[in-house]
Amino acid sequence: MPERIAVIIPCYNHARYVGEALESVLAQTQKLARIIVIDDGSKDDSPNVLQKFASRGVEVFTRENQGAHATLNELVTLAAQDCPFISILNSDDRYLPDRLATCLNAARQQPGKSVICTGLRVIDENGRVMPEEAPRSRWFHGAWSIGKQDGMEIPEWLGRANFVATTSNIFARASYLKANPFRPYRFNHDYFLLATAALENQLNIVPDVMLEYRVHGSNTIATRPEPLMREMLRMHLDLYHHHAAALRRAPDMRRRFFGFVGSSWENISSFHAGLLQVALAQLAAGRSEAEIEALVADLQGPEFDEFPNHRLAGAYDGATPLEANRALTKKLDEIVAQRDDVKADKEALDRLSRYRHVMLRSKWVRLGLVFGLCHPLVSNRGKKPHEKMLWLRDTCAKHWWLAIGEKLGSDSAHRLRRDQV
């Protein structure tokens, strides 16, 4: 499927703003395949404002109110019919002109990532950019500053704060959004999806400011603390529940999850880590001692091969308080992880080299190149060696010219399609 992009817009009582939102989409430098809006039972003049854009190619649907999550999921279903990329825009926010071109380029460079988000700036109800020191924008600038710390990984950053801030900041592969529908939260449907993408190593952050997030009196986030705090607690428990099976079997995902959860103890928003421990205690209280013992005994993983803080335990120098060595210990862990990444990159480069060697020797591939039929096989997609290797492997497996060659008895075509290089 070609790189068709759909922009989807859920609208509810934003007659004042939705025209600006649509104009920002129509002004994109990147060509769009579809712009789809569902008015979710607005009580104001939103339907009439939307109909004015129908003649400019905007698909407009109206229905009774079903809520933000249901509207987003319905829009995803509509867009995913013929668009492999979907970008969300809330009806009170605005895109900068190059946003979709920037996001698509990021998706091309990192085909292994499914969700792309960018930097943002905060605007007021009149569309003016709020200064960084303004009370209602200071939090967002503070949240983004966390990511500037050395060694701060995306799951840890997201555990500290939902710096992405809004579903308007989500550009994603349609297949990922279909596989991860929005949940029936009032405040956190973006946060759950983003946390899941981070835990699955599917989240890519482009720091360039490409989105204008509007803060005004009718934002759903403008509420008293308790409802948001309760939903944040529910969202974190849902993350435990949803990812339990993957956490059991995948050490890499566990590492990211540990970073997310550990960092959440210093969350700068509405998450109370102490209350989460109370909730977990209540869940444990519902299990017998035998069940708890069996659960612990059933845990498996490389974490059991060494003491968790073995480097820190031997780091005391007789003078510096041991606690002060934690940053050094974390840095050492990062170096070890980097060493493992270098090893993985080398293995990926070796496989990539074998693929290309088979292609260079393949008469069938060379014949396809002569007729201009095999250019995807010699392109260089992906940023890291592992991403390049995966893209080439998957492209070979699906390429129609290699499929024909395999049927005609080409050994090289068979090896390339079957990953036998």
- Residue 410 backbone dihedrals phi, psi, to 5 degrees: -75, 120
Residues 60/18, Cβ–Cβ less than 8 Å:
no
**pLDDT of 218:** 59
CA–CA gap between residue 376 and residue 400 (Å, rounded):
11
- Which pLDDT does position 311 carry in this prediction? 66
Per-residue confidence band for 115, with pLDDT thresholds at 50, 70 and 90:
very high
Name residue 129's beta-bridge partners.
Answer: 123
Percentage of the chain lying above the pLDDT 70 cut: 93
CA quadruple 266, 131, 164, 338: dihedral sign: negative
Per-residue confidence at 219, pLDDT binned at 50, 70, 90?
A: low
Tell me the Cα Rg of the chain. 25
- What is the structure's pLDDT at 329? 61
d(CA 348, CA 326): 33
Query: What percent of the chain clears pLDDT 90, i.e. is strictly above it?
Result: 71
Q: Which amino acid would we find at residue 399?
A: H
pLDDT in tens, 306-352: 887 776 666 666 777 766 555 556 666 777 778 888 888 888 898 88
Q: Note the pTM of the prediction, 2 decimals.
A: 0.77
| pLDDT, mean of residues 224-229 | 90
Return the pLDDT at 223: 62
CA distance 336 to 334: 5
- The string of DSSP letters for 345-392 reads HHHHHHHHHHHHHHHHH-HHHHHHHHTT--GGGG----SSHHHHHHHH
pLDDT for 385:
86
Mean pLDDT of the chain: 91
What tens digit of pLDDT does each residue of 52-73 get? 999 999 999 999 999 999 999 9
Banded pLDDT at 184 (limits 50, 70, 90): very high
Query: Is residue 275 very low, low, confident or very high in pLDDT (cuts 50, 70, 90)?
Result: very high
Question: Tens of pLDDT along 394-409?
Answer: 899 999 999 999 999 9
Question: Given this model, what pLDDT does residue 342 score?
Answer: 85
Confidence band of 74 (pLDDT split at 50, 70, 90): very high
Q: Is the dihedral of CA 140, 141, 144, 149 positive or negative?
A: negative
Which pairs from 362-365 meet CB under 8 Å and 24+ separation? 362/410, 362/412, 362/413, 362/416, 363/410, 363/412, 364/401, 364/402, 364/405, 364/408, 364/410, 364/412, 364/413, 365/401, 365/402, 365/405, 365/412, 365/413, 365/416
209-234: buried (b, 16+ CB within 10 Å) or exposed (e) per residue? ebbbbbbeeebeeeeeeeebeebbbe
361 pLDDT above the threshold of 80:
yes
Q: Give the mean model confidence (pLDDT) for residues 21-38.
A: 98
Q: Which CATH class is domain 5-222?
A: alpha beta
Q: Which of 17-21, 56-60, 122-126, 367-371 is predicted least confidently?
A: 367-371
d(C-alpha 339, C-alpha 138), whole Å? 37
User: Average of pLDDT values for 18-27?
Assistant: 98
Task: Give the pLDDT of residue 344.
Answer: 85
Show me where the domains of the chain are located: 5-222, 240-312, 344-417
Classify residue 8 as left (phi > 0), alpha (psi -120 to 50) or beta: beta
Q: Pick the residue with more confidence: 87 or 135? A: 87
| pLDDT recorded at residue 312 | 65
Query: How would you class 377 by CB atoms within 10 Å of its CB: exposed for 0-12, middle for 13-18, buried for 19 or more?
Result: buried
Cβ contacts of residue 54 below 8 Å, gap of 6+? 60
CB 11, CB 46: distance < 8 Å: yes
Helices 189-199 + 68-79 axis angle, to 10? 60
